[in-house]
Structure 1
Amino acid sequence: MSSLPLVLLHAYPLDARMWDPVRAPLAERTRLITPDLRGFGRSPLPGGEAGRSLDDMARDVLALLDRLGLDRVVLGGCSMGGYVTFALLRLAPERVGGIALIGAKASADTDEARSNRFAVARRAETEGTAGWLADQMLPVLLGETTRKRRPEVVERVREIVEQQSPSGVAAAQRAMAARGDSTALLRSVDVPAVVIAGEEDTVNPPGVARDLADTMPHAELMALPEAGHLTPLEAPEAVVDALARLLG
């Protein structure tokens, strides 16, 4: 087993169940922790407008590590989970002994992307998320190969998305819209890192992942064919291999 536990932070708009395909093989290698971020899965969203930032999500993770008595971990995040990883690196870099970034990017949103996030947040609050959010997200989250050939993965992602709370979805969109650029932060990251990218990812294409890996001093890029934004669900064996190399 690795000396450092592995913490994996999920993507939007899913929860910790997105790690199910990689859970057993990773748990054989090290202690594995996969929390639901606030507002998703079984983690409630605090009332009011306070406490809904990526920093607050990162503080939740740090509080969990404190409760578990873990001083230092390997930290991995997929998409939104990657942004929470950046927030945690700002707050407590000494707690992170390795980094895995999956479908993430260092740059802040463009004005157009930010406007789209606010529109989704408003719609979730006024209409709920049933009947449209999963339909909107599936072509974005999953690669073309998965959508054509693996209906069981498509249905699993749909099921998880449709079970998220509208308030959690809205709060996460606003939190991601407010994030800054993390390029300078990542240049200073002096721990082993792996960047995992699906070659069919249209959200953060392989070129974005390459830039991300080039930004960090000790990062390795793993590009996975026939996979999109959610590589742990689309190419779990390859993701396990990439994370095992980081753990090893």
Structure 2
Amino acid sequence: MTIRNCELAYDDAGPDGPVPFVWGHGLSSSMASEDEFPLVDTSVLRSARRVVRYDARGHGRSGDLESSDDGRWDRLALDQVELIDALGLDRVAVGGASMGTATALHSAALLGDRLAGLVLVIPPTAWETRQEQARMYETMAAIVETKGVEPLIAGSASIAPPDPFVADTATFKARRAESLRATDPTRLAAVFRGATGADFPPEDAVAAIAVPTLILAWSGDPGHPVSTADRLADVMPNTEVSIASTMDELATWTSRVDGFLADL
């Protein structure tokens, strides 16, 4: 489907009835990547409701970023809301992982009273903590442009995974390396550079989001710190927060999201 002059690949499945759920993936991920390793299993969610997923601009089977600004989270929210409109959805719940969380927060203001709820999974760095992460993404983009992905893979080998994956570090690192190698380097550099200019909406705008909000974070990940989840919970008036530090806790996320959506 053509959305804001970009072909967006999307998947729309599940029965009509309850509030539809629109899900956005993380930076450098895609629908296909999430099918292989879902933090939240949308195949379970769509047994009870309509679930819309899509490859964000510059990712997966969707079209390229025309400029780095198109990779900013507020721009990606414009794509998301136009897709929601094009599919004829009225009242919706919106969520996502990392970049998908940030996109959902920007979409909230655009959707207004049409927003029924939010699911924010592994919220990334934001506000005061964003600048350092943005510099890192600029460095990563430059490395990929000049040397390819192998230096990134080698450089990340010494970085511990998020706490739920510590018991199987080798598998986590192998999966991360496979994902980087599977992505076209030009596109990968472009989305990294797009992320350098991205941030959450202003804090007062986030504080105005009053819909029920489920926040799922994990510990041990500087790129998705628990502090962001805590800050969102402090700022937003209607939140439920759960922090996963083990694989068993992570495994509850799908059922938590399913139950949360059922109550909207």
> What range describes the TM-score normalised by the shorter chain of this pair?
0.7 to 0.9
CA drift at 1:34: 1.6
Q: Which amino acid aligns with 1:207?
A: S
Whether the 8 Å CA contact 1:82–1:104 is kept in 2: the answer is yes
Give me the whole-angstrom Cα distance separating, in 1, the residues matched to 2:254 and 2:195: 27
Give me the whole-angstrom Cα distance separating, in 2, the residues matched to 1:160 and 1:109: 26
Q: Deviations over 1:152-210 (max 9, x none)?
A: 55544433332223333333233322234532221000211010011333323323312
Q: Which amino acid aligns with 1:72?
A: R
Matched position secondary structure for 1:247: helix
> How many pairs does the alignment contain?
241
Whether the 8 Å CA contact 2:74–2:198 is kept in 1: the answer is no
1:231 is aligned to none
Question: Paired residue for 2:44, among 16, 21, 25?
Answer: 25
Question: Paired residue for 1:209, among 226, 229, 242?
Answer: 229
CA drift at 1:218: 0.7
* Pairing 1:16–2:35 present: no
CA drift at 1:16: 1.9
2:259 is aligned to 245
1:102 is aligned to 121
Whether the 8 Å CA contact 2:73–2:200 is kept in 1: the answer is no
CA drift at 1:31: 1.2
Farther-moved stretch of structure 1 (211-220 vs 186-195): 211-220
Aligned-residue CA RMSD (Å): 2.8
Provide runs of 4+ in structure 1 moved above 6 Å.
138-141
CA 1:237–1:5: 2 relative to 1, 3 Å: farther
CA 1:134–1:37: 2 relative to 1, 3 Å: farther
CA 1:17–1:236: 2 relative to 1, 3 Å: farther
Give the TM-score of the pair, scaled to structure 2: 0.78
Gapped regions of structure 1 (runs ≥ 5) = 228-233
2:22 is aligned to 7
Question: Paired residue for 1:66, among 85, 107, 126?
Answer: 85
Q: Which amino acid aligns with 1:61?
A: Q
CA 1:180–1:171: 2 relative to 1, 3 Å: same
Whether the 8 Å CA contact 1:195–1:219 is kept in 2: the answer is yes
Instruction: State the percentage of identical aligned residues.
Output: 24
2:58 is aligned to 39
Give the TM-score of the pair, scaled to structure 1: 0.82
Farther-moved stretch of structure 1 (152-161 vs 51-60): 152-161
Give me the whole-angstrom Cα distance separating, in 2, the residues matched to 1:17 and 1:93: 30
- Pairs within 5 Å for 1:160-171: 160-171=179-190
Give me the whole-angstrom Cα distance separating, in 1, the residues matched to 2:130 and 2:164: 28
* Pairing 1:56–2:106 present: no
Matched position secondary structure for 2:210: coil
